[in-house]
């Protein structure tokens, strides 16, 4: 199929590239000339494992092109995907200004039989509004489908190629069949293709992310209770996770969720609930617990250093909101860094991919280490925010030798407390009793 993918952000670039890899002719469109130039030169503006290689292969094969010319891309396309950002507005609702700019721009060039597909995360009613807007602009009925994405940063290509399900919101069965044909190479293992009303499809995306965010906030609150009563959250997690009704997914305690999806989607769904007269008590609690959890390491640091941290050197491992990405949007590390700097601490930070993103925000206020061990050299304490694989199997005794003071604040429970204690560390973790050398 001939596809125009409007927006080359995370969702648009991954989706467009993967569709090209399945044999479609894809033109990715963006108004950002610098980004398009970068892609034309074979460079990818985001870090996602395997994406650069996939872009290079499909561009070389001629199936994947990049342009700023929206009119030409739309005029030739059978399917036009809108994959632009929907950032949070001041009240927490989704800002749809980029979506409407695209709808208005593509209308004059839309072929009569083309299908517009909303890939951006948009609130309920956006599909209907886009349909009405295109009808007013073109003077005819235009097919508008909803096709929410369910991609995890760090595993997006695998998620696209091997989806749990494909969800589409349509008004006509013929549109559903066109999208079923598009996605049929991904559904050969029997994964479901779920065609539903556009409103249901729009809400499915929000409800899925809200449910996952709820699980994270729940296990973090339980972890905080465990610490107070002397229980171990990992033991409790295993105790509940083997109940098949509960399972283990997203029940890992930590320093809270971040990224581009969970925070804004929980807020946007809560705002939509308020607009339709429903009080979002659970959604509000999920966000409140998560905001508080982002401060949990700082609370432990204050308890360890009652006289303050002014003049102390802290190593920080992990800056991205999760491993295998360079995304720092709403990352818990930023909260910790900001508060430690304000308290007068000196910070030596390391992340395999996100350091440059953090440098753009904090500049020379931080020392940027190229390795984890370099970051802890001479440090009074280490704070771990992200569970990158390279942090898991470090030599604790070598770490002890390099640090000025053997103290770890582990926001991801990477180590066994007894091993950290035996290596000479005071070891603070999440939902477990602090381990101290005897």
Looking at the structure, tell me whether residues 244 and 343 fall in a common domain.
no
Residue 78 lies in a domain: yes
Q: How many angstroms separate the CA atoms of 328 and 35, rounded?
A: 19
Q: Provide the domain count of the chain.
A: 3
Last residue of a domain, one of 196, 230, 256: 196
Which domain does 415 fall in, by range? 294-428
Q: What's the CATH number where 77 sits?
A: 3.40.50.720
Decide which of 267, 292, 317 is a domain's last residue. 292
Q: Are residues 145 and 51 in the same domain?
A: yes
pLDDT for 140: 97
- Residue 222, token pair as written in the block: 């339980």
Is 191 found in the same domain as 96?
Answer: yes
Q: How far apart are CA 24 and CA 335, in angstroms?
A: 43
- Shared domain check, 311 and 276: no
Return per-residue pLDDT of the chain as tens, 438 residues. Answer: 999 999 999 999 999 999 999 999 999 999 999 999 999 999 999 999 999 999 999 999 999 999 999 999 999 999 999 999 999 999 999 999 999 999 999 999 999 999 999 999 999 999 999 999 999 999 999 999 999 999 999 999 999 999 999 999 999 999 999 999 999 999 998 999 999 999 999 999 999 999 999 999 999 999 999 999 999 999 999 999 999 999 999 999 999 999 989 999 999 999 999 999 999 999 999 999 999 999 999 999 999 999 999 999 999 999 999 999 999 999 999 999 999 999 999 999 999 999 999 999 999 999 999 999 999 999 999 999 999 999 999 999 999 999 999 999 999 999 999 999 999 999 999 999 999 998
CA-to-CA separations, 196 to 145, 160, 165, 171, 212, in angstroms, rounded: 10, 20, 13, 8, 22
96 and 217 in one domain? no
Same domain, residue pair 169 and 251: no
- Centre a 10 Å sphere on the Cβ of residue 262 and count the other Cβ atoms it contains: 23
| Token pair in block for residue 289 | 């617990």
Rg (CA), the chain: 24
The answer to whether residues 379 and 283 belong to one domain is no
Same domain for 252 and 332?
no
Indicate whether 171 and 45 sit together in one domain: yes
Return the residue matching tokens 């996602």: 48
Residues 77, 211 within the same domain: no
Do 15 and 85 have their domain in common?
Answer: yes
Indicate which residues carry an active-site annotation. Answer: 261
282 and 365 inside one domain? no
Residue 438: what pLDDT? 85
- Is 433 part of a structural domain of the chain? no
437 within some domain = no
Query: Is the residue at 435 inside a domain?
Result: no
Question: Is residue 201, in this structure, part of any structural domain at all?
Answer: no
Q: Is residue 438 in some structural domain?
A: no
Query: Looking at 196, 216, 239, which one is the last position of a domain?
Result: 196
pLDDT score of 227: 96
CATH code where residue 256 lies = 1.10.1040.10
Whether 88 is in a domain gets the answer yes
């Amino acid at each position: 199929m001939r596809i125009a993918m409007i927006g080359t952000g995370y969702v648009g670039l991954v989706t467009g590239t993967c569709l090209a890899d399945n044999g479609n002719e894809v033109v990715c469109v963006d108004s950002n000339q610098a980004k398009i130039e970068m892609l034309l030169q074979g460079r990818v503006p985001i870090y996602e494992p395997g994406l650069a290689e996939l872009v290079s292969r499909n561009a070389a094969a001629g199936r994947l092109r990049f342009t700023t010319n929206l009119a030409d891309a739309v005029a030739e396309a059978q399917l036009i995907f809108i994959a632009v950002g929907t950032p949070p507005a001041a009240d927490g609702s989704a800002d749809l200004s980029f979506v409407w700019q695209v709808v208005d721009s593509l209308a004059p060039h839309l072929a009569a039989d083309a299908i517009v597909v909303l890939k951006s995360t948009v609130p309920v009613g956006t599909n209907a509004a886009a349909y009405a807007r295109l009808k007013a602009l073109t003077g005819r009925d235009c097919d508008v489908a909803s096709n929410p994405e369910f991609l995890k940063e760090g595993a997006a290509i695998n998620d696209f190629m091997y989806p749990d399900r494909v969800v589409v919101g349509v008004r006509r069965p013929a549109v559903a069949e066109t999208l079923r044909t598009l996605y049929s190479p991904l559904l050969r293992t029997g994964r479901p293709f779920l065609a539903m009303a556009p409103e249901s499809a729009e809400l499915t995306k929000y409800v899925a992310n809200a449910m996952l965010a709820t699980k994270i906030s729940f296990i973090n609150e339980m972890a905080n209770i465990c610490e107070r009563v002397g229980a171990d959250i990992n033991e409790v997690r295993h105790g509940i996770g083997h109940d098949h009704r509960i399972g283990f997914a997203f029940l890992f305690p930590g320093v809270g969720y971040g990224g581009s999806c969970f925070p804004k989607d929980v807020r946007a769904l809560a705002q939509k609930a308020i607009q339709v007269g429903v009080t979002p008590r659970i959604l509000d609690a999920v966000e409140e617990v998560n905001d508080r959890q982002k401060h949990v390491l700082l609370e432990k640091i204050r308890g360890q250093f009652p006289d303050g941290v002014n003049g102390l050197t802290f190593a920080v491992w992990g800056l991205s909101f999760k491993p295998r990405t360079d995304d720092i949007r709403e990352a818990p590390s930023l909260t910790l860094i900001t508060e430690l700097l304000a308290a007068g601490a000196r910070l030596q930070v390391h992340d395999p991919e996100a350091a440059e993103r953090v440098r753009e925000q904090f500049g020379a206020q931080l020392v940027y280490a190229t390795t984890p061990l370099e970051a802890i050299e001479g440090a009074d304490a280490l704070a771990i925010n992200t569970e990158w694989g390279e942090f898991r199997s470090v030599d604790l005794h070598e770490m002890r030798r390099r640090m000025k003071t053997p103290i770890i604040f582990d926001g991801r429970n990477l180590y066994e407390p007894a091993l950290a204690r035996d290596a000479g560390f005071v070891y603070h973790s999440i939902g477990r009793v602090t381990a101290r050398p005897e």
